Structure 1
Amino acid sequence: MNAPHDNGALRASLQALPRALRTLHKALIDVETVYFGAVGSALEHLHLITNHPHFAWLQPMSALMAALDEALDEPDKLSAQAAAGWRAAIEELVGPGAPDGTGFRAHYLVLLHDAPEVAMAHGALRQLLAPLPQRLR
């Protein structure tokens, strides 16, 4: 599939990513919560996700999602280079790019193989990344 070249196509391709990332992030949280055990109320669950060491490995993905949301809120034109940068940043987390060094990938790969909902969300994200331009090596 050809990479989108105009700003509208780039923006449309990038705007599909936050929903796919949130779906994947939720699937990861759901599986980790099952591994963790009973969490109590929704507020207690949120507190655990944001503060407990068991969930800390998810923080790089949370930060990336927030940064992408901020970037997409900007009315500025998006370059192919910027789109390639977002693709690379996501691929550093979920593959096939080189791991980002945070330890995210090791935990992620376990859940990718253990949880069908994570594998399905991963596949949906990969489909959205495919048409984005890649960084030149």
Structure 2
Amino acid sequence: MALAAELSSALKELHRALIRAEIGDDPALQNPYTALFALIGDPRFAWMGPLSQLIARIDQQVADGGIAGMDVAAGLGAEAARLIGEGSGEALAAFRMRHVMALQKQPEAGLATGRLRKVLAKVLAQLPEAGETGR
């Protein structure tokens, strides 16, 4: 489904911007290999786990042909919306806080968030009950 691939692409763009914001000017992380190992094992990057897992899940479902209907895409879209603060869920409070911090540090994070919001609007517009969701 093209919409799921577009959602994945927007999430990846956000992920890259958040990584850049978190790395910042840290001289130890300017080397791409050092940055990669930090992303994998450094606790400073653990808050990005839900985003990374969502991207992997979407890509796997697209590859497997598992996104057959809008209900699946809508569920994934709702999960992405919660990550950027457009839904409820206390478990994501840490992600939301770090996302807001990244928005202040890295203009690319704001642009990526805006693109993601546009894609999420497309996903929601495809739902039959889109007018009834209160959005």
Q: Which protein has the bigger helix share? A: 2
**Shift >6 Å, 4+ stretches:** none
Task: Find 1:98's aligned residue among 48, 69, 88.
Answer: 88
Shift of 1:113: 3.1
Deviations 1:55-103 (A, max 9, x none): 1111111111100100111224522211110111101111211135142
- The alignment status of 1:19 with 2:36, answered yes or no, reads no
Task: Tell me if the contact between 2:20 and 2:106 (Cα under 8 Å) persists in the aligned partners.
Answer: no
Alignment-derived partner of residue 82 in structure 1: 72
Q: Structure 2: state its 5+ residue gaps.
A: none
Alignment-derived partner of residue 19 in structure 2: 29
Percent sequence identity over matched residues?
Answer: 31
Alignment-derived partner of residue 57 in structure 1: 47
Pairwise CA RMSD of aligned residues?
A: 2.1
Give the TM-score of the pair, scaled to structure 1: 0.82
How many residues align? The count is 127
Change (3 A) 1:132 1:22: same
2-structure distance, mates of 1:105, 1:71: 25
